[in-house]
């Protein structure tokens, strides 16, 4: 494959989606990457062997580095964020998810380079206003936690700007799972936790429902495989670099599959990947998340389709099978 000469900033490069993004870009011929994160804390999470990049830059010194460097930046994929939904100190989310993102936006605007940034389905709160990525409803959304608030505040700020990058997109990620999430602890996907529970105890514990409208384990989420996420971003990046992304397409986009599936479906698929019959136990949901728990998410994906994306999405069964068999079973983290 021919090496692409474009130089791309990837923030959050030591995290889950960011590290997968860097690997995807390498596979597509993008070898001139500027990888940004809190590497003093995060670097040991990642095996950088085989990764092709030009520079690794600490998040806190990125803008100082950009002022010094003679490197021409062609695009920025801003995936770095504080994503812990159980962190209730809003100032933490505000600093990393809102104020830092404003600086990224302002840099991309000044340099006129494309920007793709991570928003979140957490902005939709309990979903009382639906899961539509039209801009008119953003101001009325009611996120359930400080993380969601910080993401929605940046979305609102971005939409209010009279000046911005010529090409920009905010992606509302739904429930992303796949290789690279091992370090997320409590915030890792149910698939990751289910696999480890099965290996340790032969069974999986799922939260009971605390709403009468949902049976235990029948809580519904839009689960999307990380390989699909990076493929969509890659398609957007190429469209922007090729000047095929008009300003009329700028804005917010959902990124899920458009199909809600139950946690029971997910866990059954995990057992199937291991060649085992399901063994599920239901436990009470922790009180600290009970009032802010989403029981249903499903992305409206029409906007992305209308923008021209026709790549399709991996089914839950196929995604879990690939993740379990080709990564978790083999002890591979990426």
Cα distance between residue 94 and residue 81, in whole Å: 10
| Active site amino acids | 147, 184
Dig out the tokens for 102 from the structure. Answer: 């404003």
Can you tell me which residue has the tokens 């809003």?
Answer: 90
Residue 210 and residue 290 in contact, taking contact as beta carbons nearer than 8 Å: yes
Cα distance between residue 157 and residue 297, in whole Å: 24
Whole-angstrom CA distances from 292 to 45, 175, 274 are 29, 16, 32
3-state secondary structure of 52: coil
Can you tell me which residue has the tokens 């905010």?
Answer: 170
Cα distance between residue 291 and residue 288, in whole Å: 7
3-state secondary structure of 117: strand
């Amino acid at each position: 494959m021919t090496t692409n000469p474009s130089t791309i900033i990837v923030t959050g490069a030591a995290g889950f989606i960011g590290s997968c993004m860097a690997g995807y870009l390498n596979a597509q011929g993008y070898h001139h990457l500027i990888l940004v994160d809190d590497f003093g804390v995060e670097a040991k999470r990642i095996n950088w062997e085989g990764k092709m990049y030009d520079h690794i830059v600490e998040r806190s010194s990125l803008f100082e580095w950009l002022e010094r460097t003679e490197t021409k930046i062609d695009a920025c994929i801003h995936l770095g964020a504080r994503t812990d939904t159980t962190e209730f100190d809003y100032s933490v989310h505000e600093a990393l998810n809102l104020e830092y993102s404003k600086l990224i936006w302002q840099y991309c605007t000044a340099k006129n380079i494309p920007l793709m940034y991570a928003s979140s389905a957490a902005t939709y709160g309990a979903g009382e206003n639906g899961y539509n990525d039209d801009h008119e409803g953003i101001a009325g959304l009611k996120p359930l936690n400080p993380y969601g608030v910080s993401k929605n505040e940046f979305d609102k700020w971005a939409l209010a700007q009279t000046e911005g990058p010529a090409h920009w997109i905010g992606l509302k990620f739904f429930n992303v799972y796949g290789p690279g999430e091992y370090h997320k602890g409590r915030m890792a996907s149910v698939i990751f936790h289910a696999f480890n529970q099965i290996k340790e105890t032969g069974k999986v514990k799922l939260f009971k429902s605390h709403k009468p409208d949902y049976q235990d384990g029948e809580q519904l989420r839009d689960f999307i495989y990380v390989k699909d996420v990076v493929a969509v971003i890659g398609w957007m990046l190429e469209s922007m670099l090729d000047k095929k992304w008009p300003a009329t397409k700028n804005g917010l986009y959902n990124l899920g599959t458009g199909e809600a599936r139950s946690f029971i479906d997910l866990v059954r698929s995990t057992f199937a990947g291991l060649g085992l019959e399901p063994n599920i136990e239901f436990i009470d949901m922790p009180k600290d998340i009970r009032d802010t728990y989403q029981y249903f998410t499903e992305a409206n994906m029409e906007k992305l389709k209308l923008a021209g994306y026709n790549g399709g999405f991996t089914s839950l069964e196929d995604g879990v099978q690939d993740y379990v068999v080709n990564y978790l079973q083999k002890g591979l983290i990426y």
